[in-house]
Amino acid sequence: MRDEAIINLMYEKNELGLLELEKKYEKLLFHIASGILGSRLRDVEECVNDTYLKLWNHIEDYDIKKASLKTYLKVIVRNTAINKLRDLSKREERELPEDISDLARCYIDYKQSVEGQVFRKESIQVLN
């Protein structure tokens, strides 16, 4: 289906427009989103779906004279993926200190303390 027909369907809020849009551009949008988000499949899918939703909600803002539908979608998915990556990075930064402190509690290096060295020597003697 041609882009003009897809756009007309979306102007009419006909869901067939979304289905045709997905058929035509899904692989391209997945490729762009996965290039930014990497192997996070769930986030890539969410990003592509957000792209469809943004176009659906703001189809009246789209001007075919300024850019092709393909270009317009590429810009939307790229910006959506970048924003998603920023959110994920912020979330991971907040979670990281807790994870590190948990690991540190599990893997205390007893060689660094005098008490640890005594326990280590006693354990070696018991084993021998």
| pLDDT at position 11 | 93
CB 62 within 8 A of CB 72: yes
Q: What span, in angstroms and rounded, lies between the C-alpha atoms of 13 and 7?
A: 10
- Which of the four pLDDT bands, split at 50, 70 and 90, describes residue 128? confident
pLDDT of residue 57: 95
In the prediction, which pLDDT does 15 show? 94
Q: What is the mean pLDDT of the chain?
A: 84
Q: What is the pLDDT of residue 108?
A: 52
Residue range 107-120: mean pLDDT, rounded: 59
Q: If you search the block for the tokens 């539908």, which residue do you land on? A: 69
pLDDT over 80 (residue 104):
no
Q: What distance in Å separates the CA atoms of residue 74 and residue 55, rounded to the nearest whole number?
A: 11
Confidence (pLDDT) at 123: 74
Which residue is listed with tokens 């998603």? 84
Tell me: pLDDT of 106 over 60: no
Report pLDDT for 126.
75
Crossing angle for the helix pair 69-106 and 41-57, to the nearest 10 degrees = 140
